[in-house]
Amino acid sequence: MKIVIAGSGCAKCKATEETFRRVCAAANFIADIEHLYDMREIAKLGVMLTPAVLIDGKLVMSGKVPADQDVKKLLGIS
């Protein structure tokens, strides 16, 4: 699974990446997590509200820092 976090490097974007990494590590969930910083690329993805999360190319969340619970739901970890 490929997870892309689109963020400008703002505090919320960093927190989003951390949340994903933490939840994945805790659940031994293997995913390729990448942080995309380039604003032009982010805009081209159709993202307007950062932090945004794309899983396998699909925009699944935008404009807020997810709670651990939200991440688990998105990744299908129970």
Partner 1 sequence: MLYTLFIAGITALRDYVATHVLTCLVPAFFLAGAMVTFINRQSVLMHLGGQASKPKSFTLASLASFFIAACSCTVIPVSSGLYYAGAGIGVAFIILWVAPASNILALVYTGNILGSELLIARVVAALFMAYVVGYVMSWVFCNEGPPPTTAMPQGDMEKAIGREEIILILLLALTLLLPNYLVTEGPYIYKVGVWGIGSSITAAYAIGSQNNDRLIEWMRETWWFVKTIFPLLLGGVFLVGVLGEVLPEELIKEYLGGNSIASSFAATLLGSVTYFATMTEAPFVDKLMQMGMGKGPALALLLTGPGLSLPNWLAIARVFGFKKALVYVPLIIALGTLVGWFFGNFIF
Any contact of residue 39 with partner 1 (CB under 8 A)? yes
Coil vs helix vs strand at 54:
strand
Any contact of residue 77 with partner 1 (CB under 8 A)? no
Rounded to whole angstroms, what are the CA distances from 68 to 6, 11, 32, 42?
18, 17, 18, 24
Q: Map the footprint of partner 1 across residues 1-20, applying CB under 8 A.
A: 8, 10-12
Stretch that binds partner 1, among 19-27, 28-36, 64-72 (CB under 8 A): 64-72
Indicate if the alpha-carbon torsion angle 25, 54, 9, 34 is positive or negative: positive
- Of 64, 72, 74, 77, the residue at the interface with partner 1 (CB under 8 A) is 64
